[in-house]
Amino acid sequence: MKKWSMTQNLTFREQLEGGIRYFDLRVSSKPGEAGHEIYFIHGLFGHKVRDGLNDINNFLNIHKKEVVFLDFNHHYAMGEEHHRYLIKMLQDVFGHKLCRIDVVEEITLNYLWENRYQVLVFYHHPSAEGCPVMWPGSKIPAPWANTTDTTKLIQFLETTLGERAKYGSFHVSQAILTPRVKTIARGLVQGLRNYLVERNLPTIMTWVEAQKPGKDGVNIITSDFVELVDFANTVIKLNTLLIKDRDTK
């Protein structure tokens, strides 16, 4: 099952060095384990969250102008004490780097650099309400296609882009195929990467390359196994379209 639970081969550090700046994070305690330790989880338990956060923070300490989005959108087996533990951990690790909640349109790179902010944390749980550096999940919707079919995925991405709010929130386009039980059964030995992702990536990347960023287009795009193609650079290059638009006005 490990082959079907893993969605990335690269570590946080390797993804950051490759240009990735948004992380979709699911976390959990280990039932029956003493204390409040939190782990990354996706079908199977991964590393301790604290270790991953420290890796990210170490990168940010070296690269003072880089900014990351940490989207904690699923929490499993976590009571109030676990949430308090995780929120405090985020504050302890990142400290002044945490961007305070503000009007989304005000969050420019210049604004972040002036305030020495490098981390936006989105916390999809009521436990974070009232904490000025834990952005609510409603500020970063990430519609999920839940399909193994690339045609349906792209139709879904186009539809949700057309429906996205033009102001007041970020937006994640999940260019990701999701295996069903029968998909896993058919490709049990091969795994997610070999059975589903690799053969469909060219179609997905063709869609990505055709996008335009901005309030009428894409904002954040996610993909599995980003190292299989030049994903980060392809997305980053889309920003040149904004520069061209600005220069022609």
Which among 238, 228, 244 has a CA at the least distance from the CA of 18?
228
Q: For 80-110, how does the pLDDT look when each residue is reduced to its tens digit (9 = 90+)?
A: 999 999 999 999 999 999 999 999 999 999 9
* Stretch 103-129: mean pLDDT: 97
Residue 154 corresponds to which tokens in the numbers above? 């792209």
Is the pLDDT at 6 greater than 70? The verdict is: no
Average model confidence (pLDDT) for the chain?
Answer: 86
C-alpha 135 chain-centroid distance: 14
C-alpha 212 chain-centroid distance: 19
The residue that leads in pLDDT, 195 or 146, is: 146
Pick left, alpha or beta for residue 111 (phi over 0 → left; psi -120 to 50 → alpha; otherwise beta).
alpha
| Model pLDDT, residue 42 | 65
194 — pLDDT class (breaks 50, 70, 90): low
Cross-strand bridge partners of residue 27: 40, 75
Which among 20, 16, 73, 27 has a CA at the least distance from the CA of 220?
20
**Most confident segment among 42-56, 156-170, 231-245:** 156-170
Which among 122, 108, 119, 133 has a CA at the least distance from the CA of 66?
119
CA distances from 182 to 174, 178, 187 (A): 22, 12, 9
How far is it, in rounded angstroms, from Cα 143 to Cα 122? 15
DSSP letters spanning 152-215: HHHHHHHHHHHHS-SSSS--EEE------HHHHHHTTTTHHIIIIIHHHHHHHHHHHHT--BST
| Model pLDDT, residue 179 | 54
How far is it, in rounded angstroms, from Cα 27 to Cα 47? 10
